[in-house]
A and B are shown apart, each in its own frame.
Chain A
């Protein structure tokens, strides 16, 4: 099925790199490097030049921390979305928020996707997506409260739970009026999951792809990579790309990342190995 993110449509076999843009002073990876709006805008320009098809703008870091109210969240993201919309009309803009009111404001400013990383914590978010005819990302968090860390969460079958919850959320979005071709599911590595859970979700990602909903994976530099390899933030790129390759082989469509160039090369290589993308230019042995 064609994937449509707001104003932008993508072919059935297209893979998309979604670059993370934090308008936060405290996100784990960049630690405030793009906190200033001008810095965040520069980051957008950089990732566009690197080939990202989507940016995911967020105003609140995922981990626990200083309370960020609705007004503050809006002030961080709405003007930036408007500025990016005007400067990059061909770019799909996603906003990472769980709040319907913030979603409404960013859609009015030009957003194409509401990336609900907290799995439907605000039930009205899908109504906002429907009203603006934008896409929604339906994530699995195991029902945790936004901005909390997982603590002793267990599942009978984490993949079954991820599929059941995200597909139910997807159907709820469609019932609310979101276009079927604009609904994406995300198992949400590390969210409501220990490292063993995230590894199993990665290993069995094909089961999520088999639902028919396009799958987004957000793997970039996360703790499950760090714990698996015993490496701190800043040394997790190789592990991230290994996980990216496994998800690409399974058929994930959207990759939410910090490193655009490395991810694009990994996904293209695996997509070609899988026979879904021709090589760029093949002449060896065929002269």
Chain B
């Protein structure tokens, strides 16, 4: 037995990818949080993500050294991209409530999400749907980031899960 699984959540932000690097990093704080959370995972990591999220996961896993044999999962997902007038999907009045509920669930160790409403609110949640199927008995181990700097809700979180 290798102990409980370690699970980290990061957002699928394409600005994290090296091919989109500018001279200044617009997501420096988010990047640092992602590195910290991913560095907490074990050597072998299962990625739970949509195709774009998988590219972000692959980059982060390549960028951060990891140790140990803990079963590990990297979930890529984020909240609504319709949180403000300047947000990519403009303002949807339901976004704040959706993200608040989803964030509260995540803190309580639940990956449950309304995928239909998520699609309407431009929330990328496929990684959470996959995590809900794969993982159970999860307890929050830390929140590295919780903010919406561009009108998109990002979380970087860690859990330990029984299965």
Contacts and interface: CB of A to CB of B under 8 A. Distances in A.
Contact of B150 (A280, A282, A283): A283
Contacts of A277: 23
B20 interface: yes
The B interface, classified by DSSP as helix, strand, loop or mixed, is loop
A280 B88 contact: no
Pick the most buried of A279, A283, A285: most chain B CB atoms within 10 A of its CB. Answer: A283
Contacts of B14: 285-287
Contacts of B24: 280-281
Contacts, number: 36
A277 B24 CA distance: 12
B150 A281 contact: no
A282 B26 contact: yes
B20 A280 contact: no
The A interface, classified by DSSP as helix, strand, loop or mixed, is loop
B101 interface: no
B147 to A, nearest CB: 12
B27 interface: yes
Given A286-B20, A287-B150, A281 B26 contact: yes
Pick the most buried of B15, B21, B81, B152: most chain A CB atoms within 10 A of its CB. Answer: B15
A279 B151 CA distance: 22
B102 to A, nearest CB: 18
A54 to B, nearest CB: 21
Given A287-B81, A287-B151, A287-B152, A278 B22 contact: yes
A279 B15 CA distance: 12
Interface string B13-33: 111000011111111000000
Interface in B71-106: 81, 88
Interface string A53-70: 000000000000000000
A286 B26 CA distance: 10
Interface residues of A, number: 10
Contacts of A281: 22-26
A278 B27 CA distance: 15
Contacts of A282: 15, 20, 22, 26
A283 B88 contact: no
Contacts of A283: 15, 26-27, 150
A207 B15 CA distance: 37
Nearest to B88: A287
5 contacts: A278-B22, A279-B23, A281-B25, A281-B26, A283-B27
Interface of A: 277-283, 285-287
Given A283-B15, A283-B150, 14 more contacts: A278-B21, A279-B22, A281-B25, A281-B26, A283-B27, A285-B14, A285-B88, A286-B14, A286-B20, A287-B14, A287-B81, A287-B88, A287-B150, A287-B152
Which 9 pairs between the two chains have the least Cβ-Cβ distance?
A286-B15, A287-B150, A283-B26, A286-B14, A281-B24, A282-B22, A279-B22, A281-B22, A287-B152
